Amino acid sequence: MQSRNLSRRTLLTATAGAASVAAVPAPHAAAEEHTGRRGRLERLIARMSLEEKVGQLFVMRVYGHSATDPDPADAEQNLKEIGVRTAAELVATYHVGGIIYFTWAHNTRDPHQIADLSNGIQRAGLAQSAPVPLLVSTDQEHGIVARVGKPATLLPGAMALGAGGSAADARRAAQIAGAELAAMGIRQNYAPVADVNVNPANPVIGVRSFGAAPQRVAGMVAAQVRGYESGGVAATAKHFPGHGDTTVDSHTGIPVITHTREEWEELDAPPFRAAIAAGADAVMTAHIQFPALDPSGDPATLSRPILTGILREELCYDGVIVTDSLGMQGVREKYGDDRVPVLALHAGADQLLNPPDLALARNAVLDAVESGELAVERVEQSVLRILRLKERLGLLRDPFVSHRDVERTVGARSHLAAADRIAEETTTLLVNEDRLLPLGRRGTRTHRRLLVVGADPASPSGTTGPPTSVMAGALNELGFDAVSLPTGTSPGPARIEEAAAAAYGRDTVIVLTYNVTAGSSQRTLVQRLLDTGVPVVALAVRNPYDVAQLAGVPAALASYGWTDVEVRAAARVIAGRAQPRGRLPAPVQRADDPAQVLYPIGHGLSYA
């Protein structure tokens, strides 16, 4: 861990009172299988060719909104990257066991289209010589990572739920998300994130984590595993053995975790133990080096000591192990794309996610089996786990979904109401000098004319509104006179002066901040707004650490995300229509002395 971070011992001490998690969970599902069920699956495997068995191991991207009739540009992109034009051709050619949906691959336009795409993929799976349904997956963590947007229900992300502190809310959020995904034919969700974000400088996890307190994170992870699976999807705890203390993004490099084995046991392991005890169907690997667990220099995804030695043997996990995307740089730095899938299987992985070159990866595994480097029994072992999961989800009985289920489930009124209620529990008030907030109690005219400025990060799903506009609109609905002026995450001098000029004549300025650093021009914007003499309210719409960089702001809040549901909840708190009930799930350290804590875990003000 970097010197600017809190000591690991401090973090552990801060959570000493949290409930503990069972140290050694029972085996996942093997003890519950009866002989007849296993025999059926083994007979199905026996009917498969080697190519079909190897195909079951791969989960692949594919472009297009339709399994058989994608847009011409998507068909051309498929041909370029995969060598086929459609999802149906992908299944017929490579016999893949799963497909992952992405917004950028144009898989997730709207719920009914998603359901049709899922059904088309399943028809392709059942048309094979050994008919096997596919496991359709996506990353629907909610908060800042979501592939399916409105009209599906958008929910607070992990750190927001951590701020809310309610395991029941975390479970309900996951159950809603799972039910809606299942209605669209998406039966595996790559969530929850089980990483403990002890490093504020972490560039890739941050608010995707429930927080920095291991046992509290463990409780939320267990709740979400149960929630997703009660909603009808396979939960996937990620990223094993723990990605929370990095300063490198594994999409672009290979992070190194310097925790000792003892620190791993105390800091990183509890959420994964909790996920396994809760019955997690899958665990996703991390493309990180962890010398204390494996000194070879191999990333965890390719490490037999980590995946087999620790996850399988020590933690007694017998569910599906899925790699993180094999197109990420963290897993590609040391070995070629042909060796990575083979080494991942040697390490103990079952599902090989999104290789950059599917033909190369598939052929490498086939060659390894045919040469004797990889035993066919090892492949069949993973196929059995994958089929066992598909059977548990009911895919082997009926893999299809209906438009009726979409209509009555996705974006249901009760789901939307629950999302609003849960979000209200998460907004955290960090600073409130002279009781500036709530604005609603300042009288009928004072503090009624508002200016909303600041960052408008890109929507995680492409279907949420610009947060400054959403905030202004929500405040107007609450009786204020609010106008918005987006200034971006890196405002230039002209935009800053425009915002300052717009502040004159307004009673209060609300500025949305996004990952403010010491050198960020967002700091300049906030200072210039303070110089106008107009009261300033700062809302951090991603990491809650922004407040440390904004000295002098009379009021500061954290929403931990910028989806409509989170921004609207923050508006209700600012207006006094809801109490700020959130409490920091991770400490905020001083900007001038990171060894010191500015606001500890559990900090949060109220209006009472």
Catalytic (active-site) positions? 251, 324
Query: What token pair was written down for 473?
Result: 């609109």
| Contact criterion met (CB below 8 Å) for 386 and 120 | no
Cβ neighbors of 548 (< 8 A, separation 6 or more) are: 588, 589, 590, 591, 598
Q: Taking Cα atoms as reference points, which of 214, 298, 286 lies closest to residue 248? A: 286
Q: Taking Cα atoms as reference points, which of 449, 444, 556 lies closest to residue 507? A: 449
Query: What token pair was written down for 295?
Result: 């000194």
209 Ramachandran zone, left/alpha/beta (phi>0; psi -120 to 50): beta
| Contact criterion met (CB below 8 Å) for 28 and 350 | no
Place of tokens 């600017």: 4
SS3 category, 320: strand
Rounded-to-integer distance, Cα 98 and Cα 135, Å: 4
Q: Taking Cα atoms as reference points, which of 251, 282, 173, 164 lies closest to residue 580? A: 164
Q: Taking Cα atoms as reference points, which of 502, 492, 494 lies closest to residue 536? A: 502
**Radius of gyration for the chain, computed over Cα atoms and rounded to the nearest angstrom:** 24
Q: What are the helix (H) ranges across 144-295? A: 158-164, 167-183, 214-230, 261-263, 269-277
Burial of 483: CB neighbours in 10 Å, binned 0-12, 13-18, 19+: middle
Residue type, 504: Y
Q: Taking Cα atoms as reference points, which of 158, 291, 178, 195 lies closest to residue 235? A: 178
Q: What is the DSSP string of 92-123?
A: HHH--SEEE--TTTT--S-HHHHHHHHHHHHH
Rounded-to-integer distance, Cα 273 and Cα 317, Å: 9
Beta pairing class for 588-589 and 555-558: unpaired
| Contact criterion met (CB below 8 Å) for 300 and 285 | yes
State the greatest distance between any 2 C-alpha atoms of the chain, in Å, as a whole number: 80
109-136 burial code (b ≥16 CB/10 A, e <16): ebbebbbbbbbbbbbbbeeeebebbbbb
Across-strand partners of 188?
137, 234
538-to-316, 475, 520, 574, 604 alpha-carbon distances in Å: 46, 15, 15, 10, 15
Query: What token pair was written down for 60?
Result: 């692949």
Place of tokens 């290979």: 254
Rounded-to-integer distance, Cα 39 and Cα 273, Å: 30
